[in-house]
Amino acid sequence: MANNWYVITGGPSTGKTTLIKELSKRGYCTAPEAARTLIDAALADGVAVEERRIDERRFQYDVARLKQEVENTQSTNDITFFDRGMQDTVAYLRYYGFDSEDWIDNLMHKSRYNKVFILEPLEKYRNDYARTEGADFTKKLHPLLHSAYSELGMEVIFVPDIGLDKRVEFILSNIKPSK
């Protein structure tokens, strides 16, 4: 199935959310990060981030389910940028040493993207309310993200830390919408 879907991914604090917000401001369809959506919902219910993620395997499965729900609502005709794609779940499961179940593996093969943009880490790691990982986590996750997407034959493009506007232009210059 041809679509106009692209993924913006990378480890925590690589500028994904900021980049997605900028693409949205420029009129592109975007989908927010599922993990952050789940964390925000937990916080609204009075549940701390650490408590929500106490069972990391379940959390990652919840993230995959939400990603699937979001993808099911997206037009394949519109250029859409996802803040993380389905294969990010595979990378996270591998990082934590978990095997994936068949339904996860099935989702990974069904979710296809035209290109995957992996953001290189920013010069300075910044914490925020939703991040429980650190800079070392980002460094270890980076190659896992690359392999999770490239194993399924998706084109992966690394985006250097060149500032927000140049990153946006770099990405836009590398997309070719399907007809």
Task: Look over the chain and give the mean of its residue pLDDT values, rounded to a whole number.
Answer: 90
Strands across the sheet with 29-31, in order? 29-31, 80-83, 5-9, 115-119, 155-159
How far apart CA 110 and CA 118 sit, in angstroms, is: 20
Of the candidates 124, 115, 121, 114, the one whose C-alpha atom is nearest the C-alpha of residue 160 is 121
Give the mean model confidence (pLDDT) for residues 89-117: 87
Domains of the chain: 5-172 (3.40.50.300)
Q: Which residues contact 139 (CB under 8 A, 6 or more apart)?
A: 11, 121
At 96 the pLDDT is 93
Mean local confidence (pLDDT), 73-100: 92
Q: What is the pLDDT of residue 129?
A: 67
Q: What is the pLDDT of residues 170-179, one digit of tens each?
A: 999 999 766 5
Q: Minimal CA–CA distance to 149: which of 67, 77, 61, 89?
A: 89
**How far from the centroid of its chain's Cα atoms is residue 44's Cα?**
22
Integer Cα distance of 154 and 25 in angstroms: 27
pTM across the whole model: 0.91
Where does the pLDDT of residue 169 fall: very low under 50, low under 70, confident under 90, or very high at 90 and above? very high
pLDDT classification of 159: cutoffs 50, 70, 90: very high
